[in-house]
Structure 1
Amino acid sequence: MRSSNPVFSRRGFSRDNGYAGFHAAPQAGGPAVGTQGNPYAGAYAGAPTNPYAQNPYAQQGLQHGAPPQAPAATDRMTMDDVVVRTGATLGVLIVAASLAWALLPVDDANINRSYGVAVVSGLVAMVLGLIQSFKRTPTPALILTYAALEGVFLGVLSSIVDNRIASGAAMQAVIGTMAVFVAVLVAYKAGWIRVNRRFYGFVMAAALGFVGLMAVNMLFMVFGGGDGLGFRSGGLGIVFGILGVLIGACFLALDFKQIETGIAYGAPRREAWLGAFGLTLTLVWIYLEFLRLIAILQSDN
């Protein structure tokens, strides 16, 4: 079963090309985890062992009677791997956003050009994100290019909102995003959030409904003009902005579970890029919802 967020569908650590089963045991030598209620491992419902253990080294070890875990352990994903790659991805995004803010002015003489660059960058970033989502293995260059282009889009959009609609909105959105990340991480580690099938189904249903309503609203805006159905402005805009942040927070919990499961089941080190990619997508989603929400609140005052 794939783990998805409200923007892109992405593959998780339990894909159909050799990932841990729902009732599979963690890789020998790895941390022990419960095998019941794992929503990320639906492809191997009856697998008696962890598919990650089925590698040439493990087979060689079984043939010669040697422990198979030691050779494979050197290439297993760790939390440090995820942290480093997430830092690199977010670092590229932040640098690109800062450069876009500084080099693409949003004054009356240049706003159309800057806005055009932002739209093109955002569309290309979306395409790259979709390509990575459907690839069987993570491609670091693709993920970092996505982060750079997404950074350009966010930099220009943030500059427009901050300079022309709501002063200080960008920094407030950054602080809000960081606060949500820390709060969800603490709640997840403390066991206050339990990611299971019911949680996964609830979040996915809420996200699909949210995205569907936003798509309908956008169509009404394009063909009918104005604010469409009003889901992104006024009182309804505030309600849907808060709902968007809450959905993003739920997807952070899914991301944490996905990463934890990958580590526990001995995912290859390269899969840390998937964790970084997923976290970046979710944080971008939360930031955009905060930015829109702050713009609505300040424009109404």
Structure 2
Amino acid sequence: MTRAATVAVRQTPKPAEEIMRSNNPVFNRSEEFNRSGGAAYQDFGQQYDGYAQPGSPTTESRTQGRMTIDSVVQSTAITLGITMIAAIATWLVTPEITPETGIPSSLLAAVTLGSGAAFILSLVNSFKRVISPALVIAFAVAEGVAMGALSELFNAVYGGSIIVQAVLGTFAAFAGTLAAYKFFDIQVGNKFRTFVIAAMFGMVALSLLEVVLGMFGGNNLGLFEDGMLGLVFAIAGLVLGVFMLILDFDFVERGVAAGIPERESWRAAFGLLVSLVWIYTNLLRILAILQSD
């Protein structure tokens, strides 16, 4: 094979159905992302947009209304901003925790209702084929209420610095993971996706089992306690959250390359918010356990 032929093979884009397939449960319900190029976009299978000449009429018509990095950043900024506003508002409106009053029932209700609503909305958004920005925003509000109440609880028990440390650590994990993904050119394979998805569902199942056992007075597994098992479980959750971010970045990169509709930016924003909240809560638990020792 000549050098010219070798270069041509290397530059030949992957088939559209390979480019657009995802095993992430947050993203694999997207019809546009999982359909083959010929089925989703009749003109996409003929030519990969990234290889069209800039400024040509074909390129301009294809890029209109498509997901871009800018649209993902905007959608993510909106959802993250709403989550933070809801968290701050919940912190301010709920009564303070004092030694005399203990934990207010309204604070416990905010944690329970917020996390319950967020869990239900996360399932709806994950398995909804056509993403709904309104449901993503509703999820952000519910998640913000839960995170605000939970943060206030941790602040009262372990001190105010733990919240600042967890927030800074979450954004540091996001920035570090994004930098590693781009600079080290991390390639996401099917085995890695399968492992992350299986681990995520397994951790969720164990967490639900722990909650159910606690509600009915059974012997807890110790996953949420301050012992060594709780620390290991939180560290595993933190690592898994970083892996989830990698899947999110992979979805955005493949989605932009495939030219999926702009509304899918909200699906990307939803996935990123889920990963960030996952990292934040596990960082909170790790810091709390380390301070209690």
Give the TM-score of the pair, scaled to structure 1: 0.78
Deviation string 1:128-158 (CA, Å, 9 cap, x unpaired) is: 2222222222211211121112101100110
CA distance in 2, matches of 1:86, 1:120: 24
Whether 1:189 and 2:192 are equivalent positions in the alignment is no
**Could you say which residue in structure 2 is the equivalent of 1:100?**
90
Matches within 5 A, 1:251-290: 251-290=244-283
**Could you say which residue in structure 1 is the equivalent of 2:42?**
54
Cα deviation, residue 69, structure 1? 4.4
Change (3 A) 1:155 1:79: same
Matches within 5 A, 1:89-238: 89-107=79-97, 108=101, 111-191=104-184, 193-225=186-218, 228-233=220-225, 234-238=227-231
Deviation string 1:61-93 (CA, Å, 9 cap, x unpaired) is: xxxxx9654323211111000001100100000
AA paired with 2:27?
Answer: R
Aligned residues: 259
CA distance in 2, matches of 1:283, 1:153: 14
Structure 2 unaligned blocks of 5 or more:
1-20, 47-55
Matches within 5 A, 1:14-93: 15=30, 17-19=31-33, 41=34, 44=36, 49-54=37-42, 68-93=58-83
CA distance in 2, matches of 1:73, 1:259: 15
Paired residues of 1:52 and 1:265 also in contact (CA < 8 A): no
CA distance in 1, matches of 2:191, 2:110: 41
Q: Which moved more, 1:207-216 or 1:111-120?
A: 207-216
Cα deviation, residue 293, structure 1? 1.5
Paired residues of 2:27 and 2:251 also in contact (CA < 8 A): no
Cα deviation, residue 188, structure 1? 0.5
Whether 1:10 and 2:26 are equivalent positions in the alignment is yes
AA paired with 1:83?
Answer: V
CA RMSD in angstroms, aligned pairs only = 2.5
Change (3 A) 1:75 1:208: same
CA distance in 2, matches of 1:103, 1:198: 46
Change (3 A) 1:18 1:92: closer
Higher helix content, 1 or 2: 2
Cα deviation, residue 106, structure 1? 3.5
For the residue of structure 1 that corresponds to 2:233, the secondary structure is helix
CA distance in 1, matches of 2:182, 2:144: 29
Cα deviation, residue 119, structure 1? 1.3
CA distance in 1, matches of 2:205, 2:248: 22
AA paired with 2:283?
Answer: F
Give the TM-score of the pair, scaled to structure 2: 0.80
Paired residues of 2:95 and 2:104 also in contact (CA < 8 A): yes
Identity in percent: 37
Deviation string 1:101-142 (CA, Å, 9 cap, x unpaired) is: 111124226611221123112212222222222222221121
Change (3 A) 1:86 1:214: same
Change (3 A) 1:209 1:140: closer
AA paired with 2:79?
Answer: T
